[in-house]
């Protein structure tokens, strides 16, 4: 073993904080049934100049937003558009940019609103019975309860029985104007320390399962100028194409599997994260976990 890398290895295995880490197939001892194959109906492929980003949609959390997204993808709405508002440590926003909202006091494009009428917000949902909620196992600073459902980081309120995707790095959501029910076509991906203020205030309905490193390469706007919108259009990174896997010929579809968060394998990994190896971590710390710092492993095969 090479020095610094042994320690490094331990760091990676137990502490790698990413809900969107690339985790290609590795030889581990997890049983096959600990993994769930991502449905091509829920798999978005975003071609950027840096590489392909794969996003899994979560229809149980926001069925109408997922339906809208599938419509948009089928019509190639995003192809040739850009990531026009990218703020370091916060979000990468993409879509049509101009005149896409439904605010009465702002200039709008009537045709856009006719084509893509504003969607009613789906900030949270009562999940189908089959969706297994796996608790994180410790308190959260923001949600009454935090855990995982189908590989997504999830907040839950036992008072009203509603659940929502927590705005961890890699989470995919629709932007909106000030009013709740104003989302039309513009999406964002969280690229920084989880902006938990957005939880249950924006409709999150997916997460990046591969290629987060390409999202991180997107050119940024200036936080303090024009609200982060990249003024120089030439500096906006293009969305070369954005496609639903099920719209591709079957042979062209990539295949991803996500570690089931209701599997014993995931439970073991949670426990390991809570008590990292003393060989490297000499100072015992709090056994708490950050719901956005728990790796949610993904495998790919072509």
Question: Interface residues for its own copies in 256-295 (CB under 8 A)?
Answer: 273, 276, 279-283, 285-286, 288, 290, 292-293
Give the C-alpha separation, 247 to 43, whole Å: 10
Residue 62 binding its own copies, by CB under 8 A: no
CA distance 57 to 155: 17
Among positions 82, 93, 134, 263, the unique one binding its own copies when judged by CB under 8 A: 93
From the list 39, 75, 193, 252, which residue makes contact with its own copies (rule: CB under 8 A)?
A: 193
DSSP 119: B
What pairs with residue 244 in β-bridges?
A: 44
Does 2 contact its own copies by CB under 8 A?
yes
d(CA 204, CA 195): 12
User: CB 8: neighbour CB atoms within 10 A?
Assistant: 13
Q: Which of 68, 156, 207, 220 binds its own copies (CB under 8 A)?
A: 220
Distance in angstroms (rounded) separating the CA atoms of residues 260 and 266: 7
Report the residue from 30, 42, 48, 100 that binds its own copies according to the rule CB under 8 A. 100
Q: Of 59 and 273, which has the nearer Cβ to its own copies?
A: 273
Window 141 to 170, contacts with its own copies (CB under 8 A): 141-143, 168-169
Question: How far apart are CB 246 and its own copies at their closest, in Å?
Answer: 27
x/- letters, 8..37, toward its own copies (CB under 8 A)? xxxxx-xxxxxxxxxxx-x-----------
Angle at Cα 292 formed by Cα 49 and Cα 160, nearest 5°? Answer: 120
Any contact of residue 6 with its own copies (CB under 8 A)? yes
83, 94 in Cβ contact below 8 A? yes
| Residue from 111, 128, 224, 249 binding its own copies (CB under 8 A) | 224
The whole-angstrom separation of Cα 130 and Cα 178 is 34
> Could you say which residues in the range 104-133 bind its own copies, by CB under 8 A?
105-108, 123
Sorted by sequence, the CB contacts under 8 Å of residue 226 that are 6+ apart come out as none
Q: How far is the CB of 34 from its own copies (least distance, A)?
A: 17
């Amino acid at each position: 073993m090479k020095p610094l890398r042994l320690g490094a290895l331990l760091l990676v295995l137990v502490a790698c904080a990413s809900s969107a880490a690339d985790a290609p197939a590795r030889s581990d001892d997890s049983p096959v049934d600990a993994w769930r194959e991502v449905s091509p109906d829920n798999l978005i492929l975003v071609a950027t100049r840096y590489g392909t980003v794969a996003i899994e949609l979560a229809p149980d959390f926001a069925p109408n937003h997922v339906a809208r997204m599938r419509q948009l993808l089928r019509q190639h709405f995003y192809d040739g558009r850009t990531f026009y508002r990218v703020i370091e440590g916060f979000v990468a926003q993409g879509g049509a940019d101009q005149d896409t909202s439904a605010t009465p006091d702002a200039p709008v494009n009537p045709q856009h609103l006719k084509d893509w009428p504003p969607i009613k917000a789906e900030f949270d949902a009562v999940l189908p019975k089959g969706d297994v909620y796996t608790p994180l196992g410790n308190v959260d600073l923001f949600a009454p309860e935090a855990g995982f459902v189908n590989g997504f980081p999830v907040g839950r309120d036992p008072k009203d029985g509603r659940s929502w995707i927590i705005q961890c790095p890699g989470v995919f959501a629709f932007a909106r104007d000030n009013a709740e029910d104003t989302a039309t076509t513009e999406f964002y991906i969280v690229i920084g320390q989880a902006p938990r203020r957005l939880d249950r205030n924006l409709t999150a309905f997916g997460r990046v399962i591969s290629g987060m490193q390409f999202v991180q390469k997107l050119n940024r706007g200036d936080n303090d100028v024009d609200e982060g919108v990249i003024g120089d259009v030439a500096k906006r990174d293009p969305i070369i194409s954005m496609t639903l896997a099920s719209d591709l010929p079957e042979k062209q579809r990539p295949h991803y599997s996500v570690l089931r968060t209701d599997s014993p394998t995931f439970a073991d990994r949670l426990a390991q994260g809570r008590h990292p190896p003393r060989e490297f971590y000499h100072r015992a710390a709090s056994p708490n976990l950050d719901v956005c710092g728990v790796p949610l492993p993904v495998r790919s095969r072509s």
